[in-house]
């Protein structure tokens, strides 16, 4: 699992002034080159969050940590059973009115569920919702419309 590193600066002395940004960049570049050359030793792992400490150094009174953070789980999205049923029916191509009739709820309630699903997924359309859920394997390909079902 490859993730992008995060750079944190932690001040160690309250009365020091921040160092020159150009000097920090040069020093960090040198340290990164040295780190890349020292591939023999494995990076240490923090047991709490699973992040890897790639670089831990102090430069001109400031401590710098270069961390590789774990990639958030893509399928961390939690949909309620009702939302899952609505997603399945939308993936099959059913309009809100049909979904409302089948589930014995109002069209307004279907719209409310869809708005909440869109917000959870960060999408703005039914097609984007289905595409994202297929991408993260939250729904299967057989949830989509088959030509013989129309």
How many domains does the chain divide into? 2
C-alpha separations of 129 from 83, 97, 109, 110 in Å: 12, 18, 18, 15
Please write the tens of the pLDDT for every residue from 49-64. Answer: 567 777 777 877 888 7
Helix 81-91 and helix 126-135, axial crossing angle in degrees, nearest 10: 110
Residues 78 and 144 in one domain: yes
* 103 and 62 in a common domain: no
Question: CATH no. for residue 118?
Answer: 1.10.10.10
Query: What is the pLDDT at residue 147?
Result: 44
Calculate the average pLDDT of the chain: 75
What is the per-residue pLDDT across 103-148, written as a single tens digit (0 to 9) for each? 999 999 999 999 999 999 999 999 999 998 888 877 776 655 444 4
Q: 79 is in which domain, residue-wise?
A: 74-149
Q: Are residues 35 and 18 in the same domain?
A: yes
Q: What is the pLDDT confidence band of residue 16, given thresholds at 50, 70 and 90?
A: low
């Amino acid at each position: 699992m490859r993730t992008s590193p995060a750079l944190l600066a932690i001040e160690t002395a309250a009365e020091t002034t921040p160092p020159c940004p150009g000097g920090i960049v040069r020093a960090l570049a040198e340290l990164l080159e040295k780190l890349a050359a020292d591939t023999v030793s494995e990076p240490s792992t923090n047991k709490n969050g699973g992040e890897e400490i790639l670089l831990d150094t102090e430069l001109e009174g400031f401590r710098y940590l270069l961390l590789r953070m774990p990639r958030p789980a893509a399928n961390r999205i939690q949909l309620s059973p009702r939302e899952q049923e609505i997603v399945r029916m939308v993936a099959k191509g059913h309009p809100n009115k049909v979904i409302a009739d089948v589930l014995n709820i109002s069209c307004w309630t279907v719209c409310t569920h869809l708005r909440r699903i869109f917000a959870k997924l960060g999408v703005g359309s039914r097609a984007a919702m289905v595409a994202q859920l297929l991408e993260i394997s939250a729904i299967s390909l057989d949830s989509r419309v088959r030509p013989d079902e129309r």
